[in-house]
Structure 1
Amino acid sequence: MLNDLALPDTLLTVAQFLHQAMFDPREIIDLTKTAGLPDEQVVRRLSDAFYGALRGWAFSGA
């Protein structure tokens, strides 16, 4: 995925950390219930936020 986003491999540890924090199944269930969105939309939005977080980390001087 880092390659697809044209980001350096040095972000792998950060990517793993962010992924674990953002895609914890309990958090997804809570977000689905709170936001009232279908699972597919929650996953899409979290995925977009994840990609944005990685890009932001990379461009802020990772």
Structure 2
Amino acid sequence: MTSYFSYTQAKDYMGLKSLTTLRAYIKQGLPTIQVGKSKRISKSDIDKFMAAHRVVAKPEK
């Protein structure tokens, strides 16, 4: 079963400090769902988006 988050819940789940950052991710392709006036983001879409944008840091020398 898929969980759907409000923007605030999605921000907290992703560990973000502001909704501005979440909106930037939405502009970069994070899918949203709108039913009437309610906007939601699915947990599975967040997980896929974050995995697709993962960058492995290289250790400093």
Hey, which of these two has a bigger chunk of helix by percent? 1
Is this a same-fold pair by TM over 0.5? no
Normalised by the length of structure 1, the TM-score is: 0.33
Normalised by the length of structure 2, the TM-score is: 0.34
Hey, which of these two has a bigger chunk of strand by percent? 2
